[in-house]
Structure 1
Amino acid sequence: MRTFACLNQWSGTPLIELSKLKIIIHSLDYLEFSDTDQSKFKSQLKFQQDCYRLWYQVDGTGILQNVTRKSFGTARPGLLGLMDRGERHTYLHQKGNFECFQLLFSFLPSQNTKCYWNSEVEGKLVLEENDRFYFENLIFDLLMVMSNKKEILGLATISRLLEILVVLFNKGLILIEETQFPKNKAKSLMVKAKNYMDQHYCDMHHQSNLERECGVDINYLNIIFKKETGRTLYQYITSVRMEHAKHLLETTEMSITDIALKVGYPNSNSFTRAFKRHTGPTPQNYRVSENKQLRK
């Protein structure tokens, strides 16, 4: 597997600030594998991130699975999709060469935005021939500009990144709602609470932080949140932490104690109890089981 780590020459995290929107580019890459190579995929590819991941399949066919939602579909040339924050995905290659463009990014409201702001991911689609040709030109033009390292002030790179993101909006793959007053106050509180927990699951040790962020009593917020989602605040943040813990158990050799601290638990004992209650096996048994599945 060859990768093209295009952001190595960038210092810090690129930030594009528009009048009502901040775009943070965390990383981008172009993954490539030829079926004529002596080596093969040693295992399925696993992904998880604390931001959005754009996935565009340039070549090859495989199975792309959303492990968190227990759904899957065929990934084939022209597939353009978004992976949501915190959700685990796997890709199992089936045939042909494999080429895939990935972009990790975040959206944030700018200082000039209205009081209510929300973004939502709306899945995936396969681009038609003309759209596919246009989008792939954007990708390869971007990679060429970044490889040459001759642009002035990064403007060429930024303009091409914006063109790529505009396609997501035009195709309805990501929606941003910005109004002076939310149409549904309960939903707006739920979204705000959800976004905060998605971003602060590892350092939110007290619900008072969430209470301050949303500006309402925590008991009232909990009632609203459960009515909108079917889960309590505690159940939701636990599920977020468990998804991140599962990914770390599957893809790293970090100790159980280090994983516990990384996903927001004070020690391995409290983490192990929560993991077993939520998942069934202990963290260690889960890791052993997943490793056995990969070796089959």
Structure 2
Amino acid sequence: MLENCNIPILNKEKINHYETEYIIDKLGGEGRMYCIDVYNGVQIIYNRFHCYEAPKTKVDNNSIKYIEINHCLRGKFECLYDQEYYAYLTEGDLSISRWSLKKSKEFFTFGYYEGLEVLIDIEKAQNNEIFSEFNIDINLISKKLTLNNDIYIMRATQQIQHIFMEMYNVDNDMKVDYLKIKVLELLLFLSHTDFEIIQDKKRYYPKNQIETVKSIKNYLSQNLGIKPDFNKLAQEYNININTLRKLFKEIYGVPIYTWFKQYRIEYSIELLKSTDIPIIEIANKIGYSNPSKYSAAFSKYVNMTPQQYRKSDIKMD
């Protein structure tokens, strides 16, 4: 099934009748997808990536209709849908969508991602007799998605964690059979889920707002020596300050002021490692006119002073 999606595969290793591992190409990093066929038309894919750009997928045959279910274990996934809105999948979240939903851009926000995907070929999967025994209707789940042409994101809950966390650590000798049980549990859960209620909690945002927040972040990263006035920045970029705070944390995982403080120190770490610039000048470059305050902030973040860090880095070299 995965091979129908035109993912750029660098290498493929068939483990056994059920399992195949793929190494993904053209990512600017490393990507592995470990696929297990659990039912006819149902595939579980363990995803592990160390890169920023997610693999681009496309199904050429329009007659093939897939449901895509994703659970994020680590990292964050960002996607621009239909050139209109961004959606974010963070640790513990579950997303469900139709594969035909148009994805314009896909990224791993933090440069790494680990998670699990359940890919369902609707036509083939519907013919599994065991699904009808549990009143699981794949077509009905698909219709729920089709009604709103949407992606649904469920925030991490105890029930979602229960379903998925057990799927990450399964003994090899019972892997396929155990995963069959977990897929039944997942599909039963989705069959009794009201997507309209979830719609009020979905985590996606207009493209123009997200790109405005990213522009502000780029401005901040290029002007570390200036003490930022976030209210003024919000006015200049024509975005509500509360929206800026909310979306910045959604994208980057921390409040905007926390990110700015951390980024300044991280930037100074690179200067300490790669240049001979005096520490007092480094402090000025990142907005600290008082070297003592810079040293205190640095020590709080790194557990040593800038002087100690530079000396320790030289010794390591």
TM-score > 0.5, shorter chain as reference? no
- Structure with the greater relative contact order (CA < 8 A, sep ≥ 6): 1 or 2? 1
TM-score, normalised by the number of residues in structure 2: 0.34
- Whichever of the two has the greater Rg, that structure is 2
TM-score, normalised by the number of residues in structure 1: 0.36
